Amino acid sequence: MHPYSHPLFLHFIVYFNDNQDYFECHEVLEEYWKMQEDFSKEHPLTGYILMATGLYHWRRGNLTGAARTLTKALHRFQQMPIEYSVYKEEVAVNQLIDHLKDSLDRLEGDAIFTPFLLPISPALLELSEKAKPTISLLPKNSASVIHKHMQRDRSDILIQREEKKKGSS
């Protein structure tokens, strides 16, 4: 199975393209990323995670966080290793890079949030359509999607962040 046909990546596509639930994109792809043998911050899947996180920040008005995160995503896609770029017919990485550059230009000009679709092949679209009934989607642009992190118990993450801060001081 190539990396883009994994069920969690297919869920990522559905959340990204169908209802722009970027928080959920982050969640499902982080789970998939952590399953990788070569799990590291340099792994190609982190580009997708960063992209979703950046779009989530932008839509919520955190322009600084959005620009920083989308810039990191752009760099990951520009440095995509060969084993992922051989699947460029599945995800049009060059088009994705163009979308990220356009988003960063818009952010620099203080433009309002502008979503884009993940450019995928017809075959990958078909697989993601088959995966769609297995997940539940919230209404696109609803407060539940836009402010999702505020509706989840993420206390464990907040505790980890505080411990990390204490360890670095």
Confidence of residue 42 (pLDDT cuts 50, 70, 90): confident
Confidence of residue 162 (pLDDT cuts 50, 70, 90): confident
Q: How far apart are CA 169 and CA 153, in angstroms?
A: 27
Give the domains, in start order, of the chain with CATH numbers: 3-168 (1.10.3450.10)
- Give the Cβ contact number of residue 133 at 10 Å: 8
The token pair at 102 is 């356009």
The token pair at 103 is 């988003």
Residue type, 18: D
Residue count of the chain: 169
Residue 139 has pLDDT above 70, yes or no: no
Position 150 scores a pLDDT of 52
Confidence of residue 143 (pLDDT cuts 50, 70, 90): low
- Give the Cβ contact number of residue 156 at 10 Å: 8
Position 159 scores a pLDDT of 73
Residue 98 has pLDDT above 90, yes or no: yes
Q: Phi, psi at residue 136, to the nearest 5°?
A: -105, 135
Helices (H), the chain: 7-18, 22-34, 45-59, 63-78, 82-85, 93-108, 122-131, 143-146, 155-168
Which candidate, 19, 12, 89, 17, places its Cα nearest to that of 47? 12
